[in-house]
Chains A and B, each alone.
Chain A
């Protein structure tokens, strides 16, 4: 285990410590002056890289994966049909759905023939991967812009249906609702519904797969071969 011996060859400017030190101090001084000037700008958010958190919030990306929302359609009906696809795909196993037939006289509240009687997401388990949103055939689930999810007790972290709906209403009020994620174009224009990735719901697929040019896909050699 002979360790290589390094020949140290320093230039004179490196040898004397002070020269490079002064150069470095020039650099830090530049930053200092810039930031001191910046800090006299009107509050908040004086220094460009820092956000004064509770008052001054970073604008999050439109497709941010935050707290879940249960979506309503334009007529205010719940989109969720309680199929349980999201519960099945969830890697963290944090979604519990119980579905039931829509009771008589409440058809105006639900878009489908069935609905989710209970819908619970355990935010203590959730890893916010967004698979539930991707897999949902009705577009009933969406990860919203809310990211302040700290609670005092574990019970409060169990998001039930009312909380998920409240999230939706809040996001809608604040105008933070985004259009659903667009499914990406898939190789082979004639993809039949159902054969595709779970990302797209059936009706949207027809639109995206219609105008799809044939692009030769070169198979790339894999690394370990």
Chain B
């Protein structure tokens, strides 16, 4: 226990240029060195889980958009899959492919934002713009799919609500080049730059055992050197058909997290290519929706279903009492587990590292506070 009177208390957030959303960190510093940093959460608490108990199963889909708003589609699909599991139905194959394509696009968008913001927080403003321009193209695809850009309300229980837009192939070709170019440029500007390396390599390292003990998932865990990816280890949807690598880091520092995200974008591009090839082989009028009743009344019971969202394992626990509304919804956001370890990670580092660490963890307030 430290004596707080000996140190300078610096209140970072909830409104601070480097706090993503409304996070708040109460840091005690000795000069520039962080002695302790206590994250305070709840500034964006909207009672999402409680809301779910008052909405029907379908009505909860738009609410899930507002969890991790950088990749709303992954949240939607995660929730839908949980309900489908509860109902005992499965979305048709073509719908699964559409879901995979859209989820991977969302993953790329999420990682682009994360890497871009990491650059901004470390003072490199320019890569952010190169990446965000490509994200714009991804959002264009989303918009042409069902009319919304950020809060997509993608998919329905039992399938998806629309087919891929007709010009998807053409757009994807253009986008693929764009993503590759943006990644290459970001790589050129940052990866081998000594300043960037000094700022990221060896900063807030985390061992694999610690990461597992704290319940890390997603890129933050893989950066620590644990090769765990739900898409590979517990394949859901149609992920078992695709050939892709799971990039891992070694030390769990900011640089590894950055590299894992950069590499994952490339892998996602590969997955979309393969999925789209399979999609094209499907007949044009193959079903996109499983047979589900109009009013969803799942049998009483409970279910947990998780997917690999861009931030890690995003799980939905749903308990049903047989009525048309869920009895209880519990969301397992990946950020929450990662953010718990934040004080441990930044202890003894400098203020600038605290910011870098927070950006590289990609803590999204919407998901964290729910």
The answer to whether B230 and A223 have CB atoms under 8 Å apart is yes
Contact residues of A between 51 and 79, Cβ < 8 Å to B: 60-65
B236 to chain A, nearest CB (A): 4
Contact residues of A between 188 and 225, Cβ < 8 Å to B: 188, 191, 194-199, 211-213, 215, 217-225
Query: Which residue on chain B has the smallest CB distance to residue A196?
Result: B294
The answer to whether A131 and B58 have CB atoms under 8 Å apart is yes
The answer to whether B294 and A17 have CB atoms under 8 Å apart is no
In the bound complex, CA of A150 to CA of B143 (Å):
21
The answer to whether B306 and A223 have CB atoms under 8 Å apart is yes
The answer to whether B193 and A24 have CB atoms under 8 Å apart is yes
| B-binding residues in A (CB < 8 A) | 1-6, 8, 10-11, 13-17, 20-21, 23-24, 27-28, 49, 60-65, 89-92, 127-131, 134, 143, 181-182, 184-188, 191, 194-199, 211-213, 215, 217-225
Q: Is B121 an interface residue (CB 8 A)?
A: no
B139 to chain A, nearest CB (A): 10
Main SS of chain A's interface residues? loop
Q: Is B120 an interface residue (CB 8 A)?
A: no
The answer to whether B294 and A49 have CB atoms under 8 Å apart is no
Stretch at the interface among B151-159, B257-265, B267-275: B151-159
In the bound complex, CA of A3 to CA of B93 (Å):
45
B296 to chain A, nearest CB (A): 10
The answer to whether B62 and A187 have CB atoms under 8 Å apart is no
In the bound complex, CA of A14 to CA of B156 (Å):
50
Stretch at the interface among B31-39, B103-111, B280-288, B351-359: B280-288
The answer to whether B294 and A194 have CB atoms under 8 Å apart is yes
In the bound complex, CA of A134 to CA of B155 (Å):
12
In the bound complex, CA of A172 to CA of B287 (Å):
32
The answer to whether B289 and A14 have CB atoms under 8 Å apart is no
Main SS of chain B's interface residues? loop
The answer to whether B234 and A3 have CB atoms under 8 Å apart is no
The answer to whether A195 and B207 have CB atoms under 8 Å apart is no
The answer to whether B294 and A195 have CB atoms under 8 Å apart is yes
Q: Is B60 an interface residue (CB 8 A)?
A: yes
Taking A1-B344, A8-B202, A195-B293 as contacts, is the C-beta distance between A49 and B136 under 8 angstroms?
Answer: yes
The answer to whether A4 and B205 have CB atoms under 8 Å apart is yes
> Can you report 30 A-B residue pairs in the complex whose CB atoms are below 8 A from each other?
A3-B205, A15-B194, A17-B195, A20-B192, A27-B189, A49-B133, A62-B144, A127-B151, A129-B153, A130-B146, A130-B147, A130-B153, A131-B59, A184-B289, A185-B289, A186-B287, A186-B288, A187-B287, A188-B287, A188-B291, A197-B158, A212-B285, A213-B283, A217-B92, A219-B90, A220-B237, A223-B306, A224-B234, A224-B304, A224-B315
The answer to whether A17 and B194 have CB atoms under 8 Å apart is yes
For B90, what are the chain A residues with a Cβ–Cβ distance below 8 Å? Answer: 217, 219-220
Taking A61-B147, A184-B162 as contacts, is the C-beta distance between A195 and B291 under 8 angstroms?
Answer: yes
The answer to whether B58 and A89 have CB atoms under 8 Å apart is yes
The answer to whether B287 and A215 have CB atoms under 8 Å apart is yes
In the bound complex, CA of A191 to CA of B293 (Å):
11
Q: Is B252 an interface residue (CB 8 A)?
A: yes
In the bound complex, CA of A49 to CA of B129 (Å):
10
**Besides the known contacts A27-B189, A194-B294, 4 further A-B residue pairs in the complex with CB atoms under 8 A apart:** A2-B207, A129-B151, A212-B287, A224-B306
B290 touches which of A4, A89, A186, A224 (Cβ 8 Å): A186
The answer to whether B251 and A184 have CB atoms under 8 Å apart is no
The answer to whether A184 and B163 have CB atoms under 8 Å apart is yes
Query: Which residue on chain B has the smallest CB distance to residue A219?
Result: B90
Count chain B CB atoms within 10 A of each CB in A1, A128, A213, A222 and give the residue with the most: A222
Q: Is B299 an interface residue (CB 8 A)?
A: no
A150 to chain B, nearest CB (A): 17
